[in-house]
Amino acid sequence: MSTDSVVAWKYLHAVVKGKLDHEVAALKCGQLSHSKWLICGMRRLLLYVSKHDLGPEDTGVLKLLATWVTQVYLPMFYEIIR
């Protein structure tokens, strides 16, 4: 697996467990690019688990995106590359 896919795997498990370890929090994801959907998903998870100043409506949208990434996108990504 690529470095980005390993980092995404760790983010996914941290969000599913509900616990962000210091090791995972210190990981960095690559540059955002429209051709790199994996990094886009990772950044959504990273924003979801970090402290942010989003309002209630934006937080709801972010939660919806994070739920989709953890329940649909990343599991399907790992199924495809397996």
> What is the tens place of the pLDDT at every residue in 13-49?
888 888 888 888 888 777 766 567 888 888 888 888 8
* pLDDT tops 70 at residue 70: yes
pLDDT of residue 28: 79
How far, CA to CA in Å, does 43 sit from each of 3, 32, 82?
A: 15, 8, 22
The mean pLDDT of 60-80, rounded to a whole number, is 91
pLDDT of residue 34: 54
Distance CA 46, CA 16 (A): 13
Instruction: List b or e across 42-66, with b for residues whose CB sees 16 or more CB atoms inside 10 angstroms.
Output: bbbbbebbeeeeeeeeeeeebeebb
- Helix (H/G/I), strand (E/B), else coil: 72: helix
| Annotated domain spans of the chain | 3-81
Which DSSP category does 35 fall into?
A: T
Model confidence band, residue 52 (pLDDT cutoffs 50, 70, 90): confident
